[in-house]
Amino acid sequence: MESPRVGVVRESMLHRPLLIKPALGKTKSRGLSYPGPDFVFGTATTVQDGGVPEAISSWHSHTMSTRNREAERDFIALNREGVKSGLVTAKELHQYRATHDIRQQPLTREGFRRSAPARIPPDASFGITNRPSTPISELMEYKYAQKWLEEQHAKDKILQAHRHKKAQLGRIQDTRTTMLRKSRPLPEPPSMWKMPRFQQLMERERSVNLIKDLPLLITACQVAVLIAPGGTSSGHLSRS
């Protein structure tokens, strides 16, 4: 049930979908005008033949009439003849086509004849042939996997030989200069910075330690002289 409208209902309001209210139990109208109920959509088929009886009793064959048909211009032949005449630019070919006229040959019924089908032998089979069956003995022996491994090893050997040959060709022989450059000694890292007074202090400590260790060095030298063959006797050392 539609709700009552307030105000004047104009005819133009029935063609605007936003102003059309949906009716209960019906689809919403889009505001389009439809022809009357007697209107038939589509194209009417006009039957001009006599139906099945006429089709069975008589057979009308259509013939191609070439008398009233004008042959079309053969532009391919015109361009070919123009090139033979030495014309290569577009302007020259356009002028040649304007002054010359070559027409295509009219099609005859013989041109529509189909060629006879090829003779096919009676024992010919169509389609794709099935592949030969795989022998089960080779599957049980793991033969296909071994064959694949052998092929991969052969490919790897060929690839390694190619890489080795390429490396030898691209290698540069070492010279004396390159060898000296490779064996260059590493530079000594710079010593850490120290204050001058601490440097003098370290030198003093070294000299003091040397003085302290001097008796031990003398004793070690005397022992070394006594042990060495042909050394000085102990009495001589005691007198000295």
pLDDT of residue 232: 47
Residue in 50, 45, 74, 75 with CA at minimum distance from that of residue 60? 50
Find the mean pLDDT for residues 132-150.
89
List the structure tokens of 212.
């302290």
- Sequential DSSP letters for 110-161: GGGPPPPPPP--TT---SPPPPPPPPHHHHHTTHHHHHHHHHHHHHHHHHHH
- Sequential DSSP letters for 203-228: HHHHHHHHHHTHHHHHHHHHHHHHHS
Find the mean pLDDT for residues 2-22.
78
Question: Mean pLDDT across the chain, nearest whole number?
Answer: 78
Domain ranges, ordered by start, for the chain: 137-168
The pLDDT tens digits of the residues spanning 27-54 come to 888 888 878 888 888 887 776 667 777 7
- Residue 103's SS3 state is strand
Find the mean pLDDT for residues 49-74.
73
The pLDDT tens digits of the residues spanning 80-129 come to 999 999 998 999 999 999 999 998 887 665 555 666 777 888 888 888 88
Residue 230 has pLDDT above 60, yes or no: no
Q: How far apart are CA 163 and CA 182, in angstroms?
A: 26
The pLDDT tens digits of the residues spanning 159-176 come to 999 888 887 776 777 788
Residue 211 has pLDDT above 80, yes or no: no
